[in-house]
Structure 1
Amino acid sequence: MRAFALILALLAAPWAQAQTSQLRTLDTDYSAASWKAVGRIDFDGRAFCSGTLIARDLVLTAAHCLYKPGTNTLWPADTIRFSAGFRDGRAVATRRAADAAAHSKFDAVAALTATNASYDVGLIRLSEPISTFDVPPFYVHDGRVTPGPVSVVSYGRGRATTQSRQKECQMLGRSSDTMVFDCDVTFGSSGAPVFTHRNGRGQIMSVMSGMVEVDGQKRSIGMVLPERVTEVKRQMRMQVAPPVAQVRRITVGGGKRSNTGAKFVRP
């Protein structure tokens, strides 16, 4: 209950409200050109999430996307496919996953608390790298995070075949490693990158984890990234996986837990 109280306190905080723009479909080559590194992640043709290329062979998404909905079972890595810049049935580049890892402290079947959301980070290692000339990756933001304008590029239910971008929404508040936004996301938007544009080209400051509804208003939740991404990278580098209780990891032909779509919670 304390986690929900924290979220409610963040939502009630007196942050100055800037202008939040409408979600817009990136339906032309020109509008989509800068966002090719954001793609759709498909799981065995039965579910999808949003994700972003952060290196030639590494995709950042939400940890819960790697688990089959409502279960403790990960999608086998060879059923995961990333399509960079996916739009109207085409992608700039498509790759299968070689392996993937969800943060070891994330619990896919637990409630969406502030603490659990702060660990909702996953990485997918691609079977073959994608040329940075074709798809320039985005950097993970490693600077100060403060309330203010951000942008989000995502897929979602009802707009699964084309990227959509909200040019400006607001980071409303932060407590520890959890942030609250007023960005327009829905099922399938899980794993979508939240960009800060304070240092030129956008950098990923958070990943969409889920949603809460308070007094009829929808709010989205994400986490502070740099340390979490480093921790999951460390898991992926391990040569011998420790017991499941310590590290959750999937490899080609393996299996162990997933979840897709943003989560709704009613405090």
Structure 2
Amino acid sequence: MRFVKLICLIAGLLPTAGFADAQKARKLADSLPGEASVGRLMVNGNAMCTGALVSPDLVLTAAHCLYDPNNGRRVKPHQIEFQAGLRKGKAVAVRKVRSATQHPQYRHVHKGTAQVGHDLALLRLVSPIDKNAVLPMAQDIRLGSGDMLGVLSYNIGNRNDPVLEYPCRVLATQHQTVVMSCDVDFGASGAPVLALSNGKNPALVSVVSARAAMGGRTVSVGTTLTTDALQKMMRGG
């Protein structure tokens, strides 16, 4: 995961979790389509990201996860492994990646100012997992300031179990970039950002791109999903 500093200062209080929010968090976690829907990505044997299953053989993550953080070079697809539904160190399924396609407008910058807004990638697995574990995507959704979201991720403090950050709030949006109050840690890059659709089923609306500093507090930055970008990546993959 990258760390970026946002120049803008956005007013707004961070949400606090009460009893009702805790109930919603449990509802969000319990309503996921299957244990294998979110998993840990191991990149080149040492770097870690998070990914979400959006079809039986496609994983959505952040584009910068395709690059070695040490030298900035893009890794080969077979050097990426998706550990679906990893809990207590045991995965529901493990798959190597056959091919990887990044957002057509993403340009990777090694150890420089992180690019946001196009930080998406689709990974095609060597074989499908469970069609019942696919996360539904809400494409071209209009997120607004104050909208409540949840992030399910793996990070350096919780490598073997997913962590649900809920509730967090949309602080600002610009084009395909969303700034959120979600407190994520390194390893959460590519993690699915979820919204409850009609209060019932979670839908994937964005993926985590970076951890950021804004106005003296830690926030997170994500890339929202658009039909055009996803279709181009699917064709490219």
TM-score w.r.t. the length of structure 1 is 0.74
- Residues 174 and 221 (structure 1), Cα distance of their counterparts in 2 relative to 1, 3 Å cut: same
Letter of the aligned partner of 1:228 in structure 2? Answer: A
Q: Does 1:210 align with 2:210?
A: yes
Decide whether the 8 Å contact of 1:81 with 1:95 is kept in 2. yes
Q: Tell me the alpha carbon deviations over residues 101-144 of structure 1, each in whole angstroms, 9 at most, x when there is no partner.
A: 1223212216445xx311100110000001224xx211111233
Query: CA, structure 1 residues 150+117, in 2 after alignment: closer, same or farther (shift >3 Å)?
Result: same
Please give the root-mean-square deviation of Cα atoms over the aligned residues, in Å: 2.3
Moved over 6 A (4+): none
Q: Is the 2:39–2:83 Cα contact (8 Å) retained in structure 1? A: yes
Segments of structure 2 that go 5 or more residues without pairing to the other structure are 23-28
**Distance apart, 1:228 and its partner CA:** 2.7
- Distance in 2, matches of 1:125 and 1:191, equals 15
Residue 66 of structure 2 is matched in structure 1 by 66
Amino acid at match of 1:169: C
2:143 counterpart residue number: 145
The yes-or-no answer on 1:230 pairing with 2:231 is: yes
Structure 1 residue 32: deviation in Å?
7.1
- 1:154 is aligned to 153
Contact 1:64 1:120 in 2 (8 A): yes
CA contact (8 A) 1:57 1:126 kept: yes
In the alignment, what sits opposite 1:19?
16
SS at match of 1:232: helix
- Matched residue type, 1:231: K
Q: Using the alignment, how far apart are the partners of 1:212 and 1:144 within structure 2?
A: 22
Select between 154-163 and 56-65 the one with higher mean Cα deviation.
154-163
Partner amino acid for 2:187? Answer: G
Structure 1 window deviating more from structure 2 (48-57 vs 36-45): it is 36-45
Aligned length: 218
Question: Shift of the alpha carbon at 1:80?
Answer: 1.1
> Which residue does the alignment assign to 1:244?
none
1:76 equivalenced with 2:76 (yes/no) = yes
- What does residue 39 of structure 1 align with? 39
Task: Kindly provide the CA deviation profile for residues 62-117 of structure 1, in whole angstroms up to 9, marking residues without a partner as x.
Answer: 0000101143421111111101110112111111111111223212216445xx31
CA–CA distance in 1 between the matches of 2:222 and 2:156?
19
Report the structure number with the largest CA radius of gyration.
1
